[in-house]
Structure 1
Amino acid sequence: MTKDRLSASRRLDVALALVAQADYSAALEVAKAAVDADNDWDEAHFALGDIYERVGETGNAINAFRHYLVLDPGDRMGAEVRLTLLGAATLRDRLPPDYVRALFDDYAPRFESSLRDRLSYRGPELLFEAIRPQLPHMLRPLDVLDLGCGTGLVAEVFAGYVDAMDGIDLSPRMIGRARAKGLYRNLVAGDITDMPDGIAAEYSLVIAADVLNYLGDLAPALRAARARMRTGALMVFSLEHGDAFPFDLGPGQRFRHHQRAIGEWLTECGFDLVSDTLGVLRQEKGNPVEGRIILARACNAVNILAGDIPNDLIPPMDQGSASGSTVH
């Protein structure tokens, strides 16, 4: 660490402490001093942009975030997301993978306590409720792929009902936490839109709990999942509900998806919709976050039309299929 970087680091620590105390005016002055001490430090520019945004100086916030991106084009801190929410960047079809990886690597040690204790997160439970009626009819062996497995919360809910479970996640530190639970057959650090070789080819169930929210365009992930599923297999996933077609970026820095777009992506990628249920995924700043619990069946359109798939490979559709019923 250079002398300037050391000085900048000390000042930035003070600035962040002042932010934690909501003393934004004082934090702004100290953050400016940190940038002055080392103008090439990307983190200082990002912190400065964040503080400018908090005090309502949008133009200065935009300039600081853009300066950060010059220094870190990989955008591990998510400046482009902030610029998008400020109306200064074009909405992309996914969050930067480097940002998501860094976010969850940092989040891993406190991930479960934060979700369960502070946010009342129950995504895995809602997904299990959606799949429970189908369990007696599902393809065997019941091998499961957990997309964006995180620390293994899905495995804790599903493990006793399936034959084997594999997981994939961008974050190596989250994978490490999941591995310690001993509930997965195989765990791989990788991108769910481009499945690595360590992922098997014929799953009977694919689960994606609170992970597709980090993608705008769902087609690449759904297509990649379908390629690893047996015909007649099921996929169950959660999404945050949105009113903008096909998607928008919410203030929580996650994508929200329109119901009609979801249906179009499913058809395009080789799925039939089985059910679409509304539910409260978690609390955020004291408010419920409404989401959709989607259950879909991997199909082969040509074979289905020809009647070539045996009935015992096609799980029965709920009477309330795609009805938009609500669970709490």
Structure 2
Amino acid sequence: MKKPVGAVSKGLPTNPILALRANELLAKGQQLESQGKIAEAARISAELVQVAPNLAEAHQLMGSLAMRTGAADIAAMSLERALALKPRSADLHVALAQALLALKQPQRAADLLNKGRTIHPNDPGIFRELGQAQLDLGQSEAALKSFARATKLRPTDLYASHMVAALSEAGAPDRAYVAELFDSYADTFDAHLTGKLEYRVPEALTKMLADHDMTSGPTLDVGCGTGLMGAALPETFRPIDGVDIAPRMVAKAAERSIYRTLRTGDAAAVIAADPDLSGPYGLIAATDVFIYVGEITDLLAQLTERLAPRGVIAFSVETHDGDGIAIRSSGRFAHSRTYILDLAARFSLELVAEQPQPIRLEREVPIPGQLYLLQRR
């Protein structure tokens, strides 16, 4: 039913001039946010909250902007105020839960989302976020049920499908999710990863190789992405071949003109079938690849077969203190040290070096990781 002309929306000031100003500020702030002009949008949102302190959308905008700048504490306060003003909003339940998860408060997020799902039993976003909270709480079986519900409600949600696959069978990713994730990221990947997320793995691995007098190729760059690892390696490691699951990332790597051969597809399948990637290689690099693969036994077997005598596999993993492989709410896998060393022994690979290395920042917090150099005996 259409509102009668002159009707005031809930939360807007009763003064028609202030109500008009609030609507203008809200529209402008949302536009600036969509354009990525966060600082300008933040100034608008601060004025909007002053003009319309009882408008849920005003506090929601402020919370959304705070999340984009990494200020999860401010975001949570703003979104709590918004939800108090609009308690039946599914979007606000999800947004506040995201802020609570960023603050490492998964129990509060889960409690909030459980309330939200009683109001919105068919909202896929609530179940998706609930799965993340449950996984952070170590409740993998409950998380699987939540992600499965999210997938049923929204079959196009590749992240939820990926989490169902990973939780149903340890170390089994949804490859469509991984490909889409990186393809959607291709144009801004280098600047965002090396800038805001402070990604330094290629440089750290290259230094490890130099410190241990390992300087010869040819090189196979597994999960080459846009070519950051290839670009970090000195000339002595060329020629370099690369393979990646995301076509747009491979296209970006080709623009660097440093790769002899580039292939697109699942690394294990492509390497097994393509004679141009048969080696032997003096170096096989896999930066931030295994964290999207999970169970790496088959892939590591193929890579080992393609190593030259005394050839080296250099790679990074996210770490966890338990055994085997763990799936994180980020959608990435973490590998224990015992898992890596057991595989190294299985494939007659000698541990030459290892060192801790933050993989990247996530919500302004470093993600713990480990770098390894394994050499064929």
Q: CA shift at 1:109, angstroms? A: 1.2
SS at match of 2:184: helix
SS at match of 2:266: coil
1:192 touches 1:224 (CA, 8 Å); kept in 2? no
Q: Counterparts in 2 of 1:2-41, with a 5 A limit?
A: 26-28=89-91
Matched residues in 1 for 2:170 and 2:150: separation? 17
Matched, 1:65 2:150: yes
Q: Which digits, 9 at most, give the CA deviation of each residue in 1:169-201, with x for residues without a partner?
A: 001110000001111111100222231414232
Matched residues in 1 for 2:325 and 2:143: separation? 24
Matched residues in 2 for 1:27 and 1:166: separation? 47
Structure 2 residue aligned with 1:275: 353
Q: Counterparts in 2 of 1:77-96, with a 5 A limit?
A: 77-83=158-164, 89-96=167-174
Which of 183, 194, 218 is the matching residue for 1:116?
194
Alignment CA distance shift 1:60-1:148 (3 Å)? closer
Q: CA shift at 1:270, angstroms? A: 3.1
SS at match of 2:330: coil
Matched residues in 2 for 1:138 and 1:60: separation? 49
Q: CA shift at 1:90, angstroms? A: 2.8
Q: TM-score, normalised by structure 2?
A: 0.61
Q: Counterparts in 2 of 1:148-159, with a 5 A limit?
A: 148-159=223-234
Higher alpha-carbon deviation: 189-198 or 121-130: 189-198
Matched residues in 2 for 1:274 and 1:68: separation? 48
Q: CA shift at 1:168, angstroms? A: 0.4
Matched residues in 2 for 1:51 and 1:235: separation? 37
SS at match of 2:150: helix
Structure 2 residue aligned with 1:231: 309
Alignment CA distance shift 1:270-1:289 (3 Å)? same
1:149 touches 1:169 (CA, 8 Å); kept in 2? yes
Which of 252, 256, 260 is the matching residue for 2:330?
252
Matched residues in 2 for 1:181 and 1:20: separation? 36
SS at match of 2:359: strand
Q: Percent identity?
A: 24
Q: TM-score, normalised by structure 1?
A: 0.70
Q: Counterparts in 2 of 1:170-319, with a 5 A limit?
A: 170-194=245-269, 195=271, 196-197=273-274, 198-299=276-377
Output the aligned Cα RMSD: 3.4
Structure 1 residue aligned with 2:205: 127
Q: CA shift at 1:49, angstroms? A: 4.0
Indicate the structure (1 or 2) with the bigger Cα radius of gyration. 2
Structure 2 residue aligned with 1:314: none
Q: CA shift at 1:63, angstroms? A: 5.7
Matched residues in 1 for 2:212 and 2:143: separation? 50
When you count helix as a share of all residues, which structure comes out higher?
A: 2
Runs of 5+ in structure 1 lacking a partner? 1-12, 32-43, 300-328
SS at match of 2:219: strand
Structure 1 runs of 4+ off > 3 angstroms?
17-29, 44-64, 80-85
2:147 touches 2:160 (CA, 8 Å); kept in 1? no
Matched, 1:102 2:180: yes
Number of equivalenced pairs:
263
When you count strand as a share of all residues, which structure comes out higher?
A: 1
SS at match of 2:262: strand
Matched residues in 2 for 1:252 and 1:64: separation? 18
Matched residues in 2 for 1:105 and 1:113: separation? 15
